[in-house]
Amino acid sequence: MKNPYRFACVLALIAAGCTTMSDQDVSDKAVAVMKTSFNERGQAKLDRLDQDEAQKLCSIPPSAVLPKEVAARIEEINLATVKYPADGKLLGNWRDGERVAQSGIGMQYSDDPKVPAGANCYACHQLTQEEISFGTIGPSLYNFGKIRGNSEAIQRYAYGKIYNPQAYTACSNMPRFGHKQILTEQQIKDVTALLMDPNSPVNK
Amino acid sequence: MADPMRIRASEKGGIVNVKVLMSHEMETGQRKDGSGKIVPAHFIQSVTATHNGKTVLLAHWGPAVSKNPFLEFNFKGGQKGDKVQVTWTDNKGDKRTDEAAIS
Amino acid sequence: MKVQLHKAVGGVLAACAALAAFPVGVTAQSAVDEIAKYRQQLQDGNPAELWEARGEDLWKQKRGPKSVSLERCDLGKGAGVVKGAYAELPKYFSDADRVMDLETRLVHCMVTQQGFTTADATKRTFGAGSNRSDIEALTAWITSESKGVRMNVALNHAKEKEAYRLGEKIFYFRGGSHDFACATCHSETGKRIRLQDLPNLTEKAGAQLAYTTWPAYRVSQGELRTFQWRLNDCFRQQRFPELQFGSEASVALTSFLAFNANGAPFNAPAIKR
Amino acid sequence: MNQMRRRTLKAGASAGLLALLAAAGIISPGEVLAADWNKAAFEGKSMQDALKALGASSPATSSDIVIRAADIAENGAVVPVGVESRIPGTQSISILVDKNPSALAASFDLPAGTEPSVTTRVKMGQTSDVYALVKADGKFYMAKKEIKVTLGGCGG
Q: What is the pLDDT of residues C79-121, one digit of tens each?
A: 999 999 999 999 999 999 999 999 999 999 999 999 999 999 9
Question: Does B77 fall in a domain?
Answer: yes
What digits encode the pLDDT tens for the residues A102-121? 999 999 999 999 999 999 99
pLDDT class of B2 with cuts at 50, 70, 90:
confident
Instruction: Give residue B1's pLDDT.
Output: 64
Tell me: do D119 and D93 sit in the same domain: yes
Tell me: do D24 and D93 sit in the same domain: no
Q: What is the mean pLDDT of chain C?
A: 90
Q: How far apart are CA C250 and CA C253, in angstroms?
A: 5
Closest alpha carbon within chain D to A110? D156
Q: How far apart are CA B30 and CA B64, in angstroms?
A: 11
Q: Which of D29, D106, D109 has its CB closest to that of B65?
A: D106
Note if the bond before C90 is cis, omega within 30 degrees.
yes
Q: How far apart are CA B6 and CA B25, in angstroms?
A: 16
| Residue D146: DSSP 8-state | E
Which amino acid, one-letter code, is at C254? T
Instruction: Give residue A63's pLDDT.
Output: 82
Q: Does B83 touch chain C (CB under 8 A)?
A: no
Instruction: Give residue B35's pLDDT.
Output: 84
Question: Does D156 fall in a domain?
Answer: no
Q: Which of A30, A37, A132 has its CB closest to that of C28?
A: A132
Strands D139-149 and D72-73: parallel
For the segment C148-176, the average pLDDT, to the nearest whole number, is 98
What's the average pLDDT block by block, 10 residues per block, for chain D (156 residues)?
39 44 49 71 96 93 97 95 98 97 97 97 96 97 96 68
> With contacts defined as CB-CB under 8 Å, which chain D residues touch A123?
154-155
- How far lies B37's CA from each of B29, B33, D77, in Å? 10, 5, 20
Q: Given a cut of 70, is residue C57 above it in pLDDT?
A: yes
Tell me: do D50 and D32 sit in the same domain: no
Question: Does B1 fall in a domain?
Answer: no
Tell me: do D32 and D50 sit in the same domain: no
Question: Does B34 fall in a domain?
Answer: no
| Count: domains in chain D | 2
Q: How far apart are CA D152 and CA D155, in angstroms?
A: 6
pLDDT class of A20 with cuts at 50, 70, 90:
confident
Phi, psi of B17 (to 5 degrees): -95, 130
> With contacts defined as CB-CB under 8 Å, which chain D residues touch C39?
74
Burial class (CB in 10 A: 0-12, 13-18, 19+), A189: buried
What digits encode the pLDDT tens for the residues C12-29? 333 322 233 333 344 667
pLDDT class of C129 with cuts at 50, 70, 90:
confident
- A vs C, Cβ pairs < 8 A, gives 159
For the question of residue C16 being annotated catalytic, the response is: no
Q: How far apart are CA D44 and CA D47, in angstroms?
A: 8
How many angstroms away from the CA of A91 is the closest CA of chain C? 23
Instruction: Give residue D1's pLDDT.
Output: 37
Q: How far apart are CA C66 and CA C80, in angstroms?
A: 17
Q: Which residue has the higher pLDDT, D151 or C41?
A: C41
How many angstroms away from the CA of C95 is the closest CA of chain B? 36
What is the domain range of residue B10?
A: 6-29+39-101
Q: Which of A130, A110, B68, A40 is nearest to C9 (CA)?
A: A110
> With contacts defined as CB-CB under 8 Å, which chain D residues touch B94?
none
Q: Which of B15, B69, B89 has its CB closest to that of D121?
A: B69
Question: Does D155 fall in a domain?
Answer: no
Number of residues written out for chain A: 204
List all chains that touch chain D, counting a touch as 3 or more CB pairs closer than 8 Å: A, B, C
Q: Does A130 touch chain C (CB under 8 A)?
A: no
Tell me: do D135 and D70 sit in the same domain: yes
CA C36 to chain centre: 22
**Tell me, what CATH number does D105's domain have?**
2.60.40.2470
pLDDT class of C268 with cuts at 50, 70, 90:
very high
Closest alpha carbon within chain A to D74? A133
Closest alpha carbon within chain C to A130? C27
Q: Given a cut of 50, is residue B97 above it in pLDDT?
A: yes
DSSP string across C52-79: HHHHHHHHHS-BTTTTB-STT-BSSSSB
Instruction: Give residue D154's pLDDT.
Output: 73
Tell me: do D9 and D55 sit in the same domain: no
Q: Does B89 touch chain C (CB under 8 A)?
A: no
Instruction: Give residue C4's pLDDT.
Output: 38
Q: How far apart are CA B89 and CA D31, in angstroms?
A: 8
CA end-to-end span of chain B: 28
Q: How far apart are CA C1 and CA D78, in angstroms?
A: 13
Instruction: Give residue C258's pLDDT.
Output: 98
Percent of chain A with pLDDT over 90: 87
For the segment B27-50, the average pLDDT, to the nearest whole number, is 93
Tell me: do D105 and D77 sit in the same domain: yes
Closest alpha carbon within chain D to B95? D30
Rg, chain B, Cα only: 15
CB contact under 8 A, D123 and C2: no
Tell me: do D72 and D27 sit in the same domain: no
What is the domain range of residue D58?
A: 45-149
| Count: domains in chain B | 1
Q: How far apart are CA C202 and CA C186, in angstroms?
A: 7
Q: Which residue has the higher pLDDT, A2 or C81?
A: C81
CB contact under 8 A, B89 and D36: no
B12, B46, B85: best to mutate for the D interface, most D CBs within 10 A = B46
Q: Given a cut of 80, is residue A60 above it in pLDDT?
A: yes
pLDDT class of C195 with cuts at 50, 70, 90:
confident
Q: Given a cut of 80, is residue A78 above it in pLDDT?
A: yes
Instruction: Give residue D35's pLDDT.
Output: 56
Tell me: do D87 and D134 sit in the same domain: yes
How many angstroms away from the CA of B63 is the closest CA of chain D? 7
**Tell me, what CATH number does B76's domain have?**
2.60.40.10
A25, A43, A48, A66: best to mutate for the C interface, most C CBs within 10 A = A48
How many angstroms away from the CA of D42 is the closest CA of chain C? 14
What digits encode the pLDDT tens for the residues A158-203? 999 999 999 999 999 999 999 999 999 999 999 999 999 999 999 9
Q: Are B7 and B17 in contact (CB under 8 A)?
A: no
Question: Does D144 fall in a domain?
Answer: yes
Kindly report the pTM of this predicted structure: 0.87
CB contact under 8 A, A133 and D156: no
CA D104 to chain centre: 6
Tell me: do D59 and D87 sit in the same domain: yes
CB contact under 8 A, A120 and D155: yes
Strands D114-122 and C242-243: unpaired
